Amino acid sequence: MEFNREQTLSLIGSGPVHILILAPIGQDAQVIAKLIETAGAHADVCKNLADIVEKFDDDVSSMVIAEEALTEALSLLTERLTQQPPWSDIPIIILSNSRGRIGPSQRWTLLRDLGNTTVLERPLHGQSLLIALRSTIRSRDWQYVVREQMQRMNASRSDLEQKVRDRNDSLYTAIDERRRLEQELAEAKKLESIGRLTGGVAHDFNNILQIINLSSKILAQLPASETVKRERAVLAVQRAADRGAKLTHQLLAFARRQPLVPQHFSIKHKLNEMSDYVRQALDREIDLVLDLPDALWRVKADPTQLEAAILNLAINAKEAMSEGGTLTIRAENLTLPAEGYPMVQHLTGDFVLLTVSDSGTGMNASVASQAFEPFFTTRHSDGHTGLGLSQVYGFATQSGGSVWISQPARGASVAMTLPRGEQEEADRGLAAGPDDETMTFAGLHVLCVEDNEHLAEATVIVLAQMGFEVTCVHSGEATLDQPLHRFDLVFSDVSMPGRIDGIDMAKLIARDRPNLPVLLTSGYMISPERLQHTGALFLAKPYTVAELHTSLKRALQKRLSRPSRP
Ligand SMILES: Nc1ncnc2c1ncn2[C@@H]1O[C@H](COP(=O)(O)OP(=O)(O)OP(=O)(O)O)[C@@H](O)[C@H]1O
Ligand SMILES: [Mg+2]
């Protein structure tokens, strides 16, 4: 290689210029290095391909390799070159070797594999090498520009990604915050309705207790001769007790804890039957329209509770139509799930949809959202406790259906789904027939089981007045000690101290003395499932004497319908 000391070219790049040299034979490497250093760049002489691979990094501006150095280990270099970052394509100057060890056919393949190569034939003038190096440095500088732009792009991309992440984070925080607020609101609403519930119960019961308190005081003080006043006081106590009983029934209905006696019956028949007294409950200016198709399915529900629900709805409608209007009761078959009924998405199967609509004032959204809550009322006049729709709600849901309010253009509409009943069951239900009014209890022996001493005392008196011979015990265990074959009926409380409660006792009696009828009573509501295998009838406390009479008759009728005692 010729090296002209007078050379004027310098090797300047955008940054420090760093050139790797591999020319293992002779003095070429040193000569080239000196030339490069003189031109103002940094030259690094490598021993072999492994060495050049090791020293090659992003800051290397170009490489000068003598062709004879491209030995079998060349793959080391080609592999390293493929690992360059996307912006990098290192320029390589190959100093050809006319006496090269590689045959001409392989030569071009090798050079192609090295990528960005320039071949300079030797012998070579120093100036030619410098010119070639300058162009490699310029091309490498462009690569550095691309690198910088890519870095900037990456930075702004990650900046953008970070911004998106930050935005998402703040969105999630906002959603969490909103959820928290919604929960707090729901909690506050729940507390508000519990407050209203307890407040309502306390208010009503205090009035009831007040009446009982004053009336009993009057009774205690009035001389026996004041019969009229005494009767009035007794009546007041009775009314107060009735009112209290109604209140707990309604509350239990809302809590879905009332003992339902579901039957399979024709809703069309029931509504036609009821239409007269629904009409009586409405004002003259209100028309009652019944829309009941012939092919209506039967329902499975407690008919007495259905009556109460229809009456509650009719009275609400009447209150909303003080100027008159129309009350429409419509029933139709509905198989769920069905389009247009998102509110009963949780139900599947056959139902009868009962809709009670009026043309009255209607409800605004806020009233409609709270109307089913117990003690919620907008009618703060006497006699309105806000328990009407709670009964409807409790009844519908406990029956396995649902209820909701819709607001037509005019008035309000309450829709209720009740599960479809069965045909044979319906017939069976009807076959039960009315009570035997002529039935007498004289000569019958009842075993009364009641742990509350005062209540036991009063019950014994009432049962004796009905004609029964009465034996009274105070626990389940004591019942089983009795000679049960001597009794015609067991009338028992459910919750009692000791190991055997009324339900256990009824089960034992059903097993050992299947012909002995059992009537259970409790102030706690007993789920119908618990009663299922006892064969017993149930009477909810508080009961009136008339209700007790009817239940006792039913229990005895049950016995009479079975084969007689052995
Ligand atoms: N058909 C209706 N039209 C307009 N508003 C109604 C209708 N039915 C119920 N409401 C509203 O829902 C509230 C709650 O009804 P709900 O039957 O539970 O209680 P109430 O009628 O106020 O009292 P109660 O039934 O104990 O006499 C009512 O106070 C009324 O504001
Ligand atoms: Mg009402």
Residue count of the chain, please give it: 566
pLDDT in tens, 461-515: 889 989 999 999 999 999 989 999 999 999 999 988 888 999 999 999 999 998 9
Query: Which of the ligands is closest to the CA of residue 254?
Result: 1
Three-state secondary-structure class, residue 488: coil
How far apart (Å, rounded) are the C-alpha atoms in residues 252 and 523? 11
From the CB of 379, is ligand 1 less than 6 Å away? yes
Q: Candidates 310, 357, 389, 405: which one to mutate for ligand 1, based on the most atoms within 8 Å of Cβ?
A: 389
Query: Which of the ligands is closest to the CA of residue 251?
Result: 1
Average pLDDT per 10 consecutive residues for the chain, totaling 566 residues:
61 91 90 92 94 95 91 85 94 79 65 85 86 94 94 90 90 87 79 75 82 86 88 88 81 69 87 87 90 93 89 94 94 93 90 96 92 87 81 90 87 96 55 48 93 87 91 92 93 89 92 92 74 84 86 82 46
pLDDT number for residue 210? 84
Q: Omega before 223 cis (within 30°)?
A: no
From the CB of 384, is ligand 1 less than 6 Å away? yes
Q: How far is the CA of 317 from the centre of ligand 2 (A)?
A: 8
pLDDT number for residue 152? 92
Q: How far is the CA of 332 from the centre of ligand 2 (A)?
A: 24
Beta carbons within 8 Å of 14's beta carbon, 6+ residues apart: 141, 144, 145
Given phi > 0 = left and psi -120 to 50 = alpha, else beta, which region is 350? beta
Smallest CA separation from ligand 1 atom 29, residue: 377
Query: Which of the ligands is closest to the CA of residue 366?
Result: 1
Which domains does the chain possess? 1-187 (3.40.50.2300), 263-431 (3.30.565.10), 445-560 (3.40.50.2300)
From the CB of 517, is ligand 1 less than 6 Å away? no
pLDDT number for residue 104? 63
pLDDT in tens, 149-208: 999 999 999 889 999 999 889 888 888 888 888 888 877 777 777 777 777 778 778 888
User: Do 83 and 57 meet the contact criterion of CB atoms below 8 Å apart?
Assistant: no
Give the nearest ligand 1 atom to 373 CA. Answer: 18
From the CB of 136, is ligand 1 less than 6 Å away? no
The string of DSSP codes covering 417-457 is EEEB--HHHHHHHHHT----TT---TT-EEEEE-S-HHHHH
From the CB of 296, is ligand 1 less than 6 Å away? no
